[in-house]
Amino acid sequence: MNESLISHPGPVLLVGGGKSDPDQLRGLLDTCALRVAADGGAETLLALGIMPDAVIGDLDSLTDVSRTRIPAERVHHIPEQNSTDFDKCLRNITAPLVYGTGFLGPRVDHQLAGLTVLANRPDRRCILLGEEDVIALAPPEIELSLPVATRLSLYPLATMRGESEGLRWPLGGIEFSPARRVGTSNETSETRVRLRFDAPAMLIILPVEAIPALSRGLLSAPATWPAHA
């Protein structure tokens, strides 16, 4: 396996070229000591007066003016076109958790591509942040502390099964499939929710206010999925 370009012991902020909520982004800047830009995401950081610690991508969205401002050793050009800039970044970051902004809108095709990357990199723990929701690929097991009646949606990217405790509508070994049965608009019935899955293909979707709870759950999850071959 190739070594990652970026390795960090703490959470990493990854900024994409899409829209990032300024207040949300400032909060993440306080949380993450290391900031990575996916190609044109460097423009967002530079506009806030933040020099990216690394820029990764095919660099087709980074302006020449911005590129001259960034130290050359921080710019990692990956020209291949068989993957998105998000994938180029996620596979090259080794960290306990990655927060990704600027990947969930406004274009639906970009959103779907980002969710596919989450499923293709199951060994990377990553939370994608949007204006209303946060999304992460569920590990084999996860425990979440949330207020009762919190919306918790589950969306499968492949056929799989899950078990749950603390949901209004328990999973109970139900077979999920994106073409047949999904788990959207569920909600918590207890303050402690436990989820277990048999494959790396279930997305957890929560309100943006649940970022701290989802972060704690991912960081404390007892196991992670292996990397795809």
pLDDT digits (tens, 9 = 90+) for 65-122: 999 999 999 999 999 888 999 999 999 999 999 999 999 977 888 899 999 999 999 9
pLDDT value at position 2? 59
pLDDT digits (tens, 9 = 90+) for 172-220: 989 999 999 999 999 999 999 999 999 999 999 999 999 999 999 999 9
Q: Would you say residue 229 has pLDDT above 70?
A: no
Q: Would you say residue 1 has pLDDT above 60?
A: no
pLDDT value at position 106? 77
Reply yes or no: is the peptide bond before residue 139 cis, omega within 30 of 0.
Answer: no
Mean pLDDT, residues 17-31:
92
DSSP code per residue over 56-107: EE--SSS-HHHHHHS-GGGEEE---SSS-HHHHHHTTEESS-EEEES-S-S-
Residue for token pair 């019935």 = 189
The CA angle 19-20-26, to the nearest 5 degrees, is 160
The pTM of the whole model exceeds 0.85: yes
DSSP code per residue over 159-186: SEEEEEESBSS--TTPEEBTTTB-EEEE
**What residue type is 224 in one-letter code?**
T
